[in-house]
Structure 1
Amino acid sequence: MAERLLVRALNGGESTKIVTLNGKKMTKMPSALKNLSGLRALHLENNLIPKVCSEIRALTQLTTLNLGNNLLEEVPEEMKYLTSLERLHLFGNRINRFAPGACDGLRNLILLNLNHNQLTSIPEEISRLKNLMYLSINHNWITSIPRELCFLEKLSELQLNYNRLTCIPEEIKFMHKLQKLFLIRNNIEVLPERFCDLINLRVLNIAGNIIRIFPPGFRDLKLREFYCEENPLFLKQPVRAAIKEDVWSLQEITSRFIMNQLEANNPFLMQAIEGYPEVKNTLSKGRECAICGKLFLTTWMECVEFVSPSKNWKTSRNLHHVPLRVLICSFKCFNQRGSNLFGIAKVQSK
């Protein structure tokens, strides 16, 4: 049946550029495809196809392939032969894995749609899709974002809605071209500090996660749209802190002195520390106090500052304040805080 349907579609002979066989209840791909080396677009969505035929490797000029709503269980190895492919639609299948080598030849792929499948992970080989600009893996079972995904330098839009993500890797800072990020309905608790390096991000939707607070540089993002409804964001609830003396360890006192001297370009310390890589690594973890601006090593108090969202942002309804994470170096600085900055109460385990 598949062969007859294809022959019927080939009125243009070998010059045929587009074949559309949607919703024909096909159970396999027609082997006659091997005779259409000049084919540019193949649409086979809404059928019953469980695997890709080997003859597809002849379609080296194919730029669009749509196999959405079929019965595929993997992103097949045959994809690597489609070296001209730019758009690949595999939504609505049963895909739970990538076959080895499936990404190898897809150097021209711009768009990949894997919505509504059964993937639990994204393979490291995704990094081979060097020209990928649009990646959509909504409604799967993804639990983590591999760091390799963050090295797709041309990626402009990433959709991972309705998955099982719990965190975002620090390497997301490398996605300099990212403009749209959708993470709706996951289990994400925090955004990493380097998330704020996404200087070209314009649309962010993190609705339906478990985020309470945002990193300090979040206010500097040049967003146009920001949606965060159904997250347990911190509200303006001040915390009383008992008056006490600041007591620091000898390591903390020494670290603070050295870090602030290095910040002031003390030539003696700058030269001396080069001989102690372990010390240099420890000091690199220093943070800047939000009140006095001095560097410190051990977090004295985690606070939250409430800022108004930018007037340039289109935001969720009733979003009046954005809670930002703030670190303070001492009780003395805590007493000098502004009216919109509060200490975060620690929940004591019983």
Structure 2
Amino acid sequence: MCDVSFFYRSSNFMEEKLFVRAVKGGKTTKTITLNGKKMRKIPSTIGNLPGLKVLNLQNNLISCVCSELSTLTQLTVLNLGNNLLEEVPEEVKYLTSLTKLHLFGNRINRFASGVCDGLKNLTLLNLNNNQLTYIPKKLESLIYLSINHNQLTSIPRELCFLKNLSELQLNYNQIICIPEEIKFLKRLQKLFLARNNIEVLPEVLCHLINLRILDVAGNVLQIFPSGFQYLKLKEFYCEGNPLFLNHPVSAIKQLDILSLQEITSRFIMNQLIEMNPFLMEAIEWYPQIWDTISKGRICAICGKSFLTIWIECVEFVPPSKNWKTSKNLELVPLRTLICSYECFNQRGPNQFGIAQVQEQ
């Protein structure tokens, strides 16, 4: 019969021995790498290495960390990838010098309370291949964030306020929509959203002027927002989406019947565009009107403002020659809005009413 206590002691001895071998410079040791050693725990003797900068322990069997880990206040890189952790451990919050944290390939489904409070210098966080359904706040310094292969159903709005974020990877989740707040990621250069359940890309995505790589392959997109063609992308991938295809249709000419609110709103919005001084001064006293007309749109044909979406159309444009794109992508379907039948019947040869556009 196996003596469990003996196995535990011998396991501890093995890990202590591994650490002794790895520690060559005593308290001045800067780096420890013990990958793939079947370690089940981090020895408490790690607390005797206050100057440690890099700790690599990936591909082991570690399910929890020792409290002594929290004393490594000079640690800049911690790699616990491919272990058996079920949470981002609380001890991490004391690693105030940490810049890179790798926790991929664990069983993480939660964050310990306050775990991100001390991570003021963290620039890279890799949480791929876990079971997360949410991401906490307070990661202001992040430049690179990867959460591929998790269980997120939405992009947390808090992520949209990480002002330094340059790369965001959210492939293989269950994301349905993208929040409007994504427009605040002004420094974002790479956005990976492949293999989710995204139906619509918001118009504000076009405000990401530094975006260079966008991957939305394998979602349920049919159309892209107006202005999308002006993004200065270098790479764009959209295969595996049920995109609208270009098929000629005929228009039916009818009369427009507008509500009083629509008529009034159109008049006010277009007068404001022309900088009518009387209206500009008067409308300051009516915040409810501001709220209404702030929802106004611009007609893709006549360029005038309107409130109620009369008809949603699709315009087919070739992708930029500067883009590296998915194979066989010849035309990009763009969403356009038209204010009236009159304008609809003046549309260009590549614009069609969505209701009349055939799908793949």
Q: TM-score range by the shorter chain?
A: over 0.9
Q: 1:296 aligns with which of 281, 306, 316?
A: 306
In structure 1, what is the equivalent of residue 273 of structure 2?
263
When normalised by structure 2's length, the TM-score is 0.94
Displacement of 1:241 in angstroms is: 3.4
CA distance in structure 2 between the aligned counterparts of 1:314 and 1:320, rounded to whole angstroms: 12
- Map residues 1-350 of structure 1 onto 2, 5 A cutoff: 1-123=14-136, 125=137, 128-345=138-355
| Count of aligned residue pairs for this structure pair | 344
In 1, are the aligned partners of 2:195 and 2:217 still within 8 Å (CA)?
yes
CA distance in structure 1 between the aligned counterparts of 2:142 and 2:290, rounded to whole angstroms: 38
Q: 1:142-181: per-residue Cα shift (whole Å, max 9, x none)?
A: 1111111011111111100000000111111110111111
Displacement of 1:346 in angstroms is: 7.1
What stretches of structure 1 of length at least 5 have no aligned partner? none
Give the SS at the match of 2:204: helix
Q: Which amino acid aligns with 1:116?
A: N
CA distance in structure 2 between the aligned counterparts of 1:241 and 1:337, rounded to whole angstroms: 10
In 2, are the aligned partners of 1:207 and 1:229 still within 8 Å (CA)?
yes
CA distance in structure 1 between the aligned counterparts of 2:230 and 2:335, rounded to whole angstroms: 14
Displacement of 1:271 in angstroms is: 1.1
CA distance in structure 1 between the aligned counterparts of 2:248 and 2:15, rounded to whole angstroms: 69
Give the SS at the match of 1:199: coil
CA distance in structure 1 between the aligned counterparts of 2:41 and 2:356, rounded to whole angstroms: 59
Displacement of 1:77 in angstroms is: 1.2
In 1, are the aligned partners of 2:75 and 2:95 still within 8 Å (CA)?
yes
Q: Which amino acid aligns with 2:206?
A: C
Displacement of 1:240 in angstroms is: 3.4
In 2, are the aligned partners of 1:34 and 1:55 still within 8 Å (CA)?
yes
In 2, are the aligned partners of 1:238 and 1:343 still within 8 Å (CA)?
no
Q: Which amino acid aligns with 1:168?
A: I
Cα RMSD for the two superposed structures: 1.1
What stretches of structure 2 of length at least 5 have no aligned partner? 1-13
Give the SS at the match of 2:32: strand
Identity over aligned pairs, percent? 72
Give the SS at the match of 2:61: coil
Q: 1:175-222: per-residue Cα shift (whole Å, max 9, x none)?
A: 011111111100001111100000000011110000111111101100
When normalised by structure 1's length, the TM-score is 0.97
In 2, are the aligned partners of 1:239 and 1:345 still within 8 Å (CA)?
no
Give the SS at the match of 2:335: strand
CA distance in structure 1 between the aligned counterparts of 2:216 and 2:222, rounded to whole angstroms: 12
CA distance in structure 2 between the aligned counterparts of 1:79 and 1:104, rounded to whole angstroms: 9
Displacement of 1:100 in angstroms is: 1.1
CA distance in structure 2 between the aligned counterparts of 1:40 and 1:284, rounded to whole angstroms: 52
In 1, are the aligned partners of 2:249 and 2:356 still within 8 Å (CA)?
no
Q: Extract structure 1 runs of 4+ deviating beyond 4 A.
A: none
Q: Which amino acid aligns with 2:116?
A: C
CA distance in structure 1 between the aligned counterparts of 2:107 and 2:127, rounded to whole angstroms: 10
Give the SS at the match of 2:291: helix
Displacement of 1:27 in angstroms is: 1.1
Q: Which amino acid aligns with 2:205?
A: F
CA distance in structure 2 between the aligned counterparts of 1:74 and 1:259, rounded to whole angstroms: 52
CA distance in structure 2 between the aligned counterparts of 1:284 and 1:293, rounded to whole angstroms: 16
Q: Which amino acid aligns with 1:72?
A: L
Q: 1:261-315: per-residue Cα shift (whole Å, max 9, x none)?
A: 1111111111111111111100111101000011000111100000110000010
